[in-house]
Structure 1
Amino acid sequence: MDVEKMLQQFKQTADETIFRDIQDTTALEGRIRSRLQKQRRGFFWKAWPVGITAAAVALICFLWLPGSIVVSPTDPVRPADPGATHGGGWGGPPAQVIQAHTPSDEEIAEKVEELKQQIQIGMTQEQVKELLGPPDYVMEREGGSTEAANEFWNYSYLKQAGYEPDQSGSTVDEEGLRTGKVGVSLFLAWTWKESKLHQFSISYPKGTDVLSYSANPDGTVKVENLTHPNQQEKVDVENGAFTLDLQKSQKQRYEEFAKANQDEALDGLEPLDIIKMYYYAKETADYETQYALYYQDPDSEIPSRQEFLQDLKTDTVGAENSRVFIKELREHGKEYSIIRQDENSAVVWIKFDNKRKPLGFQLKKTQVGVWKVCWMPIQ
């Protein structure tokens, strides 16, 4: 099989297929090439043990006033109870990802970050259905204040094929999370008056604990350790207006790094600075510096410098796709947020003012303590 010929055909038809919205296909091409050449090293990640959690109970107790609850299972893989609305009735994609293996730490972290960026307070139910598909369970409160939350949706992600929880969707599947049969649980609370998203929480395992990320009606966010309430998780979040253009000081630091090719030249720069430099290198065809900005992860399949430069010489379609993507990033990227769960890893999320969904760019710190871009960085 001629792998490069096949990739060339793929790139030439990308704009005419279901990949037409992917402006930069470099990462996808890398995955295809890696699989076809059978160089990917298969491995399974061990799932984090999960402690007992009551995330949904806490959320529901906080939001509900006294009243009766109607629970309607709408799980696409579970037979609906008589009279209940089945999840497929709304159309759209299934709410959850069904898989055979235990979700890895990486898969869980990526799904949590994706949901944080996708879900926004004030969204309508139709917007959420279009984005996520039908919920697994719908819980309704009959009666009560028109200003309080009265309807609650539950989604389960990274769920193992064939697994069915014992309890209903009104509580977090503690057993499933603890045993790795479910990776992430999402709860949404809706207002009675306008069916707008009032509050949401994401429950997920980390180490031996279960954490809950919650977004509140006033715009504040909080991460709680549900297993050990007195040991709260510290999450560093930075937000602001986004511009791709390098400032004078950033360009000077870029030139110093490009000339010296020493990691120490990046000392003190933040993740957003590195992302800007990375795309400046791509835009100016400074591929030597672009490659130098990659984090050399021994567990990834990053090509050698020589292989990387050689591929770029013949990849005219990829270069055009990159040019189009960078143009969109410059013109329509309007807001950024940087999320750091620990000292050595970060995700820079960019939100667009057109129809493109937010994109996350992954970075890691090197042994000398400077930030670099992960290979195939876009989430």
Structure 2
Amino acid sequence: MIKKKYLSALSLIILSSFLLVGCTASTKSLKILKEEEIKNEVEYESRNFNLTDYQLKIYEEYADTENEQLLEDLSPMDIFKLFYHAFKINDYENLYGLYIKGEKYGTPSRKDFLESIEKKDIMKLSLLRCLEYNIKNLAQIKYDKNTSYIQVNFKEDNKLTKRENWNFKLIKNSYGIWKLEWLPLN
């Protein structure tokens, strides 16, 4: 009984933590493409959430310089792993930097984002460990040449969510760099 209450509370906290970083469920439909433009192909799957030495080096350089060119050759999966790493270590400046900017995307200003997220105090590290335990794998799914999704697939017996997966949308910005959409969880 206590374990069930703990899991329910933990699930609520985890979902709340993703809401803090701009994740929400969405009923928005995908844009309509001509049949030949739709890819929806799994390009890459991974169970590894950790950054490689190369990715960590890029992350650290990006954190020091905010040089967007460092991100130019990275795949959507690479960008998502940088995003996840920033979330995991509470690096909200870089977390914000990995979102696509522009009025049409609804991304708040850096100041508003940082004020909002820093007011929240939750047990992220234990939640992330629990979340990682319940994830079966990550899949990079190409939708079209400028849109990709990172699909977080949960284990069938997970107790965190009733959904089988969460989808984080990434969009290429005008410089050809993959960025997360502000409300990335669809």
Same fold (TM over 0.5): yes
Match of 1:276 in 2: 81
1:346-357 → structure 2 map (5 Å cutoff): 346-353=148-155, 354-355=157-158, 356=161, 357=164
Q: Any idea what the Cα deviations from partners look like across 1:63-98, whole Å, max 9, x if unmatched?
A: xxxxxxxxxxxxxxxxxxxxxxxxxxxxxxxxxxxx
Question: Which of structures 1 and 2 has the bigger CA Rg?
Answer: 1
Any unmatched runs of 5+ in structure 1? Answer: 1-14, 32-105, 111-205, 210-224, 226-230
2:103 pairs with one of 271, 288, 298: 298
Q: Could you say which residue in structure 1 is the equivalent of 2:129?
A: 327
1:322-357 residue CA offsets vs partner (Å, 9 max, x unmatched):
434422332232322222221111111021224242
Q: Match of 1:376?
A: 183
Change (3 A) 1:325 1:366: farther
State the Cα RMSD in Å: 2.8
Q: CA deviation digits over 1:235-293, x for unaligned, max 9?
A: 44224232111111110111111111021110111111111111111111211111111
Render the CA deviation track for 1:123-150: whole Å, top value 9, x for unaligned: xxxxxxxxxxxxxxxxxxxxxxxxxxxx
> 2 CA distance for matches of 1:256 and 1:293?
14
Higher helix share: 2
- Alignment-derived partner of residue 25 in structure 1: 16
Decide whether aligned partners of structure 1 residues 266 and 301 sit closer, same or farther in structure 2, where only a CA change above 3 A counts.
same
Aligned partners of 2:184, 2:37: CA distance in 1, in Å? 29
2:169 to 353, 362, 370: 362
Mapped to 2, the partners of 1:233 and 1:308 lie a distance apart of 33
Take 1:377 and 1:324, find their aligned partners in 2: how far apart are those partners? 22
Mapped partners of 2:20, 2:75: distance in 1: 29
Q: Trace 1:105-184 onto structure 2 (pairs within 5 A).
A: 107-109=28-30
Task: Provide the C-alpha distance between the structure 1 equivalents of 2:125 and 2:77, rounded to a whole number of angstroms.
Answer: 20
Q: How does the TM-score come out when normalised to structure 2?
A: 0.77
Q: Is the 8 A contact 2:45 2:140 kept in 1?
A: no
2:140 is matched with 338
Kept in 2, the 8 Å contact 1:336–1:348? The answer is: yes
Alignment partner for residue 307 of structure 1, among 91, 112, 117?
112
Contact 1:302 1:375 in 2 (8 A): yes
| Contact 2:143/2:149 (<8 A) preserved | no
The 8 Å contact of residues 100 and 182 in structure 2, kept in 1 or not, is answered as: yes
| One-letter amino acid matched to 1:363 | L
Q: Per-residue deviation at 1:366?
A: 1.2
**Which residue of structure 2 aligns with residue 71 of structure 1?**
none
Unaligned residue ranges in structure 2 (runs of 5+):
1-7
Length, aligned pairs only = 170
